[in-house]
């Protein structure tokens, strides 16, 4: 048994959540424990993971409920695929390149690696409703090689990694405007020297380890970033886990 039971159960339940309607109740912990033939504590570990991912909401005395509304942008971390679906568009991708390259100092810094070590580079043209939306240039640590080897890289990278137990929990984001290089403009269907919205994300997994660094150039006429700001953006050290 290479993967821990609670990880397997987490994945199994995550898949079920995807298919269940929002708001529906999951089986009780005892029932899940019986169904998976494990102890209740193990089921709870899986449910805790789903709850901290925001996919599920646990209500004492009532049950555990599917919570899909992962709604809008704002301070919420979303993958391209989630983002597009939230905007009512159908995401798809075309793989342009996948290769092993040496990490540049910048990439190495973002991924917490030494410069020059091998990393995986992934270039994808991403579509929304079959229209080009952005060109993505992504880098991942070489330790994900096996995961990516078995995966369909025209699917959501975040879902591929999540299935392998690597869940993105936070990200550092940089947004700027750049003139689209002519190759990018051509791929995106833009005029020469049209502006592009460049977003550089460094994603961290649940262990606070950098797991994915991407630079995406979006069509300026098809994409904008929404966010909400507030004066008191502070996380409290208080005991209450919610709110």
Partner DNA sequence: CTACCGCTGCGGTCTAGACCAGTCAAGACA
Partner DNA sequence: TGTCTTGACTGGTCTAGACCGCAGCGGTAG
- The option from DNA, a second copy, none interacting with 19 (CB < 5 to 8 A, set by class) reads none
Rounded least distance, CB 119 to a second copy, Å? 22
> Which lies closer to DNA via its Cβ, residue 3 or residue 155?
3
CA distance 174 to 61: 43
Rounded least distance, CB 1 to DNA, Å? 6
Q: How far, in Å, are 208, 234, 242 from residue 239 at the CA level? A: 21, 15, 9
> Which lies closer to a second copy via its Cβ, residue 37 or residue 229?
229
> Which lies closer to DNA via its Cβ, residue 73 or residue 204?
204
- The option from a second copy, DNA, none interacting with 177 (CB < 5 to 8 A, set by class) reads a second copy
Helix (H) or strand (E) holding 215: strand 210-219
CA distance 105 to 114: 8
Of 101, 96, 201, 206, nearest in space to 153 by CA? 96
> Which lies closer to DNA via its Cβ, residue 39 or residue 155?
39
- The option from a second copy, DNA, none interacting with 187 (CB < 5 to 8 A, set by class) reads none
CA distance 43 to 33: 6
Footprint of a second copy on this chain (CB under 8 A)?
3, 7, 10-11, 14, 23, 41, 51-54, 57, 59, 65-67, 70-78, 167-179, 193-198, 201, 206-208, 218, 220, 223-237, 239, 241-243
- The option from a second copy, DNA, none interacting with 42 (CB < 5 to 8 A, set by class) reads DNA
Helix (H) or strand (E) holding 34: helix 29-36
Answer for the pair 196, 178: CB distance below 8 angstroms, yes or no: yes
Q: Can you spell out the DSSP letters for 86-152?
A: HTT--EEEEEEEEEEEEPPHHHHHHHT--TTSEEEEEEEEEEETTEEEEEEEEEEEGGGHHHHHTS-
> Which lies closer to DNA via its Cβ, residue 47 or residue 190?
47
> Which lies closer to a second copy via its Cβ, residue 69 or residue 150?
69
Footprint of DNA on this chain (CB under 7 A)?
1, 4-7, 26, 28-31, 37-42, 44-45, 47, 58-64
- The option from a second copy, DNA, none interacting with 60 (CB < 5 to 8 A, set by class) reads DNA
CA distance 128 to 64: 33
- Residue labelled with tokens 């262990």: 207
- The option from DNA, a second copy, none interacting with 183 (CB < 5 to 8 A, set by class) reads none
């Amino acid at each position: 048994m290479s993967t821990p039971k609670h990880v397997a159960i987490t994945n199994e339940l995550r898949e079920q959540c995807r298919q269940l309607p929002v708001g529906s109740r999951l089986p009780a912990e005892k029932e899940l424990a019986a169904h998976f033939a494990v102890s209740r504590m193990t089921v709870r570990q899986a449910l805790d993971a789903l709850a901290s991912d925001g996919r599920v909401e646990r209500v004492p005395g009532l049950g555990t409920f599917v919570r899909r509304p992962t709604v809008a942008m704002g301070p919420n971390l979303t993958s391209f695929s989630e983002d597009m679906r939230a905007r009512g568009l159908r995401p798809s991708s075309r793989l342009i390149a996948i290769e092993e390259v040496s990490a540049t100092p910048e990439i190495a810094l973002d991924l917490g690696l030494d410069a020059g070590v091998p990393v995986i580079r992934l270039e994808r043209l991403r579509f929304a409703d079959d229209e080009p939306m952005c060109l993505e240039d992504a880098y991942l640590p070489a330790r994900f090689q096996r995961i990516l080897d078995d995966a369909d890289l025209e699917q959501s990278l975040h879902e591929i990694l999540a299935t392998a137990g690597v869940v993105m929990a936070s990200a550092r984001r940089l947004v700027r405007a750049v003139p689209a290089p002519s190759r990018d403009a051509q791929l995106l269907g833009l005029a020469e020297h049209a502006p592009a919205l460049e977003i550089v994300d460094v994603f961290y997994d649940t262990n606070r380890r950098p797991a994915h660094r991407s630079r995406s150039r979006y069509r300026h006429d098809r994409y904008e970033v929404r966010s909400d700001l507030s004066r008191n953006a502070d996380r409290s050290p208080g005991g209450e886990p919610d709110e």
